[in-house]
Amino acid sequence: MRGEGADTLARRSARSVARVDPGNGACSVLDVVSSSDGEGLAARLSNKQIKLYACDQSGLREVSGLVGHTDRVTGMAIVEEGDGVGVCSCSLDGTVRFWDPRSRREVNRFGGAMVKMEGLTCLAVKNSIIAAGGNGIIHFWDMRTQQKLADFPETHEMEVTKVAFHPSGAPKFFSSSSDGHLCVFDFSNGLDEDDGFEGAQNLSPIEDFGFYGQGGLSIWCKLSSGLALWEWAKFLDIESDEGTGPMFNSMDVRPSMNEACAELKGQVDYVLGCHFNQQSGEFLTIGGTDGGAMVGFPTNPTPRQRDRIFAPPVLLLEGAHNDVVRSLTLFNSGFRDFGVSGGDDGRLAVWG
């Protein structure tokens, strides 16, 4: 994607690029997560493995690989408690596993041989509670005792696509599914599917979601090529007359993206997701091209029916990937400062 573009467009090249499997060009990077200090990265690969990297001023350095899942790894998290760091993962093999990165060994396993479970599709960890979604069910475990805490079998009818604890530390829990439901729970009184359920928004099949706005009181949802924005906190506030439905809901936002970046030569082929910068308050939606470029569009956080949703792009990342990008994470230290991406070309890139 080339061209002069707007004066405010920040063009960035990758600071460091690593090929995750030099002997196998068919290995894709499906997702990348970072430690809180940004110095440790975990890459979820299409070959049933997780690779760990150190990231510093000299670039990316492979530290170790975690091997043991017998089917595709579908979710992972870096867990930091006290002085220790571990990696938690889930897989279509029906297990959640906790790994010691130093020894590269599996420390604990949840599900699997001892408990009959269908393949797991997503994962979240908070305060030693593990949540893992599967085919229409959400499982909860205590990471310390390995005890099963609860199952939520009635919330979703189809594959659970994401589970998340609210980043503020509030006892709020969220889940999305291919059935189009985005559900909100309050765990103040424990993990109970009926008593904890607070509300749901009915959308098209949801692939991903995240929080934006001060306090994380709104949610963005990726709907294949579409986008939905929802003020979930206002929806739950019985005293509020606002926020009952999504503020914005479009099955395909690519035409709007391409209209906003008409000065650039090229077009957006898919939506990667969104990013909210806590420091600056900037809210970006990220589009990608089949050739591996990524474009960040300032997004109206509270659009109304006739409002333009996207402003001309302010961020262009290109040159590191030559195929579809599957994951891009931008960090709150400033989106122009640090980010990490991975894609179908088997490359992991750090942007600075």
Q: How confident is the model over 273-288, as a mean pLDDT?
A: 93
Give the H/E segment covering residue 257: helix 254-260
Higher pLDDT, 183 or 23: 183
Q: pLDDT at position 247, please?
A: 87
Residue 4's Cβ-count burial label (10 Å; 0-12, 13-18, 19+) is exposed
Question: Tokens 């090249």 label which residue?
Answer: 13
Average pLDDT, the chain: 89
Q: How confident is the model over 236-257, as a mean pLDDT?
A: 79
On whether the CB atoms of residues 175 and 158 are closer than 8 A, the answer is: no
d(CA 74, CA 179): 18
pLDDT in tens, 164-209: 999 999 999 999 999 999 999 999 999 999 999 999 999 999 999 9
Q: What is the DSSP letter of 214?
A: G
Q: What percent of the chain has pLDDT over 90?
A: 71
Residue 242 tokens read as: 């606002």
Residue in 41, 40, 39 with CA at minimum distance from that of residue 29: 41
Q: How confident is the model over 99-114, as a mean pLDDT?
A: 85
Which segment of 53-67, 94-108, 288-302 scores lowest on mean pLDDT? 53-67
What is the phi/psi pair of residue 236, to 5°?
A: -85, -15
Higher pLDDT, 23 or 344: 344
pLDDT higher than threshold 80 for residue 314: yes
- For residue 316, what are the CA distances in angstroms to 3, 233, 268, 271, 336? 11, 32, 12, 14, 10
Neighbours of 115 (CB within 10 A): 11
d(CA 26, CA 168): 38
What is the phi/psi pair of residue 199, to 5°?
A: 170, 170
Which segment of 230-244, 321-335, 338-352 scores lowest on mean pLDDT? 230-244
Q: What percent of the chain has pLDDT over 70?
A: 89
d(CA 324, CA 288): 7
Q: What is the DSSP letter of 215?
A: G
Which segment of 138-147, 226-235, 265-274, 330-339 scores lowest on mean pLDDT? 330-339
Q: How confident is the model over 50-72, as a mean pLDDT?
A: 91
Return the percent helix, strand and coil in the chain, to nearest 5: 5, 50, 45
d(CA 41, CA 348): 10
User: What's this model's pTM, rounded to 2 decimal places?
Assistant: 0.92
pLDDT higher than threshold 50 for residue 223: yes
Residue 73 tokens read as: 């790894």
Amino acid found at 340: V
Q: pLDDT at position 25, please?
A: 61
Band of pLDDT at residue 10, cut at 50, 70 and 90:
confident
Q: pLDDT at position 59, please?
A: 81
Neighbours of 21 (CB within 10 A): 17
| Dihedral over Cα of 142, 133, 269, 17: its sign | positive
pLDDT in tens, 142-164: 999 999 999 999 999 999 999 99
Residue in 38, 63, 6 with CA at minimum distance from that of residue 352: 38
Q: How confident is the model over 5-16, as a mean pLDDT?
A: 78
Neighbours of 255 (CB within 10 A): 12
pLDDT higher than threshold 90 for residue 317: yes
Residue 65 tokens read as: 């690989």
Band of pLDDT at residue 242, cut at 50, 70 and 90:
low
Question: Tokens 């030569």 label which residue?
Answer: 265
Q: How confident is the model over 51-71, as a mean pLDDT?
A: 90
Which are the contacts of 38, defined by CB distance < 8 A and separation ≥ 6?
55, 331, 333, 338
Band of pLDDT at residue 240, cut at 50, 70 and 90:
low
Which segment of 69-83, 102-116, 212-226, 320-334 scores lowest on mean pLDDT? 102-116
Residue in 112, 115, 89, 85 with CA at minimum distance from that of residue 101: 85
Which are the contacts of 244, defined by CB distance < 8 A and separation ≥ 6?
234, 235
Q: How confident is the model over 252-281, as a mean pLDDT?
A: 89
Task: Give ∠ CA 213-41-171 in degrees, rounded to 5.
Answer: 40
What is the phi/psi pair of residue 169, to 5°?
A: 95, -5
Residue in 264, 319, 261, 323 with CA at minimum distance from that of residue 291: 323
